Amino acid sequence: MAITLVNPAGLPEIDVYRQVSVASGTRLVFVAGQVAWDAEGATVGAGDLAAQVEQCYVNVGTALAAAGATFADIAKLNVHVVDWTPDKMPLLLDGIARASARLGVTPAAPATLLGVAALDVPEHLVEVEATAVVD
């Protein structure tokens, strides 16, 4: 395994991610920000943050697979949410849980959540990018 996830003593343990990832692989995989598009480019879950989060994570999984990687190889995730407010957290977590169940994975890499004013098109509510390291 090229990635070791750690919650160091002295930092809080967060349920949905670890505070640190240590990479020892030899190939970097950079996944462009994935939005809630299906394979044909149609937006999935218009107006539904949880559905869009789920589709974004599924798309990240598809992109990783094309590079010979999996969620276990992710060193860092960045999640961009339009008009973020803390009351949206349950929807975000629901979307991650749905994607996890659908993909059979538990995304736990260090993650940064950023509120943004807008994304590429008005119907997109979230974008997820990933950096992975593989042997």
> Using one digit for the tens of pLDDT, what is the confidence trace for 15-32?
889 999 999 989 999 999
Cross-strand partners of 82: 116
- Looking at residue 107, its pLDDT comes to 87
As a whole number, mean pLDDT of residues 120-127 equals 97
As a whole number, mean pLDDT of residues 37-55 equals 98
As a whole number, mean pLDDT of residues 122-126 equals 98
- Looking at residue 133, its pLDDT comes to 96
Residue 60, both tokens? 């990240």
Residues 31 and 79 sit within 8 Å (Cβ to Cβ): no
Does the pLDDT of residue 1 top 90, yes or no?
A: no
- Looking at residue 118, its pLDDT comes to 98
Residues 56 and 36 sit within 8 Å (Cβ to Cβ): yes
Q: What percent of the chain clears pLDDT 90, i.e. is strictly above it?
A: 93
Instruction: Report how far residue 57's alpha carbon sits from residue 30's, in angstroms, rounded to the nearest whole number.
Output: 14
Q: Where are the alpha helices (DSSP H) in 8-129?
A: 49-66, 89-103
State pLDDT tens for residues 62-84. 999 999 999 999 999 999 999 99
- Looking at residue 15, its pLDDT comes to 85
Instruction: Report how far residue 64's alpha carbon sits from residue 72's, in angstroms, rounded to the nearest whole number.
Output: 10
Residue 54, both tokens? 């789920």
Strands (E) in the chain, as ranges, are: 3-6, 20-23, 27-34, 74-82, 111-116, 126-134
